[in-house]
């Protein structure tokens, strides 16, 4: 079942509903308030991972993504320590970063000059540093808005209830599979002024300063939030800012200057279709 089907079901049946994958019952959570309540406020009750059969056979219950209990806690601590010490994201983060960098270069076209002007004014020609982010609010807003709209991981990996729980008036037995629908959070019409449009102002206040939004959950939330979030955010910022510092991106010769098609292709993640663009090297400091 596609993310679009789940999204339509959430509009029809509300923020908590049940679907069946064959005989398997799955409870879907939709909308910012419901997903946050479950993953954050009820973190213990919804904090276990419902391992896929193929993952059980391949990993034998090990691995930070699919394990539970003390084993998961120990592996999570170990993984976070190594991510901090060595900055290594491995394949899962690499796929996400690659897909989002591609999306960044496609979707922001109409904001090209504004981003480049801010980078030139704040950084000039020196090397970009992570600390520059706080002084580049518009650039940071464009990156966040791209992640929100790109929505390349529309559903969090399946959770399961660790105990019997009553949630929003519904009784869920221990071991119930739960699927948080991240698409419904990132496109929640009660949280975003223009949920289906590319609108960097979602992350800016009236004075142009960057504003963090609680409904920004491309990495999920709660106990099972993506371990590589900090690394991915750092790399996306450095890659994107460095590219815009040294290149101007334009449509390829013969390609009409129009908004790129962003209908995603389905794979392990959702990625935009391929586009032909030109990267023009700046032989002098950015504009």
Instruction: Determine the Cα–Cα distance for residues 24 and 186; give it in Å rounded to an integer.
Output: 27
Percent of the chain with pLDDT over 70: 69
- pLDDT score for 188: 94
Token pair in block for residue 2: 């596609």
Distance CA 109, CA 251 (A): 9
Task: Let me know: does 260 contact 235? Beta carbons within 8 Å.
Answer: no
Output the pLDDT for position 283.
56
What integer best gives the mean pLDDT of the chain? 79
**Of 165 and 93, more confident:** 165
**What pLDDT score was predicted for residue 269?**
54
Contacts of 44 by beta carbon, 8 Å cutoff, 6+ apart = 162, 163, 223
Long-range contacts made by residues 52-56, C-beta under 8 angstroms, separation at least 24? 52/158
Tens-digit pLDDT profile for residues 70-123: 777 777 777 777 666 555 544 555 455 555 555 666 666 667 788 889 999 999
Strand, helix or coil at 171?
strand
List all residues 6 or more positions away from 158 whose beta carbon is below 8 Å from its beta carbon. Answer: 26, 49, 50, 52, 177, 178, 179
Q: Directed axis angle between helix 137-150 and helix 229-246, to 10°?
A: 120
Binding site membership for heme: which residues? 226
Q: Residue 153 has what pLDDT?
A: 79
Place of tokens 């270069």: 105
Under the banding of pLDDT at 50, 70 and 90, the label for residue 9 is: low
pLDDT mean over 178-185: 92
- pLDDT band at residue 247 under the 50/70/90 scheme: confident
The sign one gets for the Cα dihedral 239, 243, 249, 253 is: negative
Q: What is the pLDDT of residue 206?
A: 93
Q: Estimate the crossing angle of helix 137-150 against helix 112-122, to 10 degrees.
A: 140
- Which of the 8 DSSP states describes residue 44? T
Binding-site annotation: residue ranges: 226
Residue ranges of domains in the chain, CATH in brackets: 3-281 (1.10.630.10)
Under the banding of pLDDT at 50, 70 and 90, the label for residue 45 is very high
* Among the ranges given (15-24, 80-89, 167-176), the one the predictor scored with the smallest mean pLDDT: 80-89
In this prediction, residues 140-160 reach a mean pLDDT of 88
Q: What is the pLDDT of residue 204?
A: 96
Selection from 74-88, 91-105, 180-194, 261-275 with the highest mean pLDDT = 180-194
The confidence band for 217, taking pLDDT boundaries of 50, 70 and 90, is very high
- Residue 45 vs residue 267, higher pLDDT: 45
C-alpha–C-alpha distance, residues 28 and 178, integer Å: 6
pLDDT at 136 over 90: yes
């Amino acid at each position: 079942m596609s993310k679009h089907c789940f999204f339509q079901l959430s509009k029809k049946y509300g923020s908590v509903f049940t679907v069946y994958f064959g005989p398997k019952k799955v409870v879907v959570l939709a909308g910012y308030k419901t997903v946050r309540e479950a993953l954050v406020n009820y973190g213990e009750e919804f904090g276990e991972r419902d391992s896929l059969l193929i993952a059980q056979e391949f990993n034998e219950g090990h691995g930070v993504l699919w394990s539970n209990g003390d084993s998961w806690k120990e592996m999570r601590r170990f993984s976070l320590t190594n991510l901090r010490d060595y900055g290594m994201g491995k394949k899962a983060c690499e796929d996400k970063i690659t897909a989002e960098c591609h999306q960044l270069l496609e979707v922001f076209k109409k904001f090209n000059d504004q981003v480049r002007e801010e980078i030139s004014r704040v950084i000039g020609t020196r090397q970009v540093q992570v600390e520059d982010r706080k002084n580049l609010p518009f650039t940071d807003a464009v990156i966040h808005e791209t992640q929100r709209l790109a929505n390349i991981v529309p559903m969090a990996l399946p959770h399961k209830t660790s105990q019997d729980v009553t949630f929003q008036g519904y009784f869920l037995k221990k071991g119930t599979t739960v699927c948080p629908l991240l698409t419904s959070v990132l496109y929640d019409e009660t949280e975003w002024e223009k949920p289906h449009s590319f609108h960097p102002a979602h992350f800016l206040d009236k004075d142009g300063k960057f504003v963090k939004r609680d409904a920004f959950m491309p990495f999920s939330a709660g106990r099972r939030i993506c371990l590589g979030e900090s690394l991915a955010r750092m790399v996306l910022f450095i890659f994107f800012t460095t590219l815009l510092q040294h290149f101007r991106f334009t449509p390829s010769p013969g390609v009409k200057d129009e908004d790129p098609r962003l209908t995603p292709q389905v794979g392990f993640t959702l990625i935009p279709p391929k586009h032909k663009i030109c990267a023009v090297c700046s032989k002098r400091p950015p504009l």
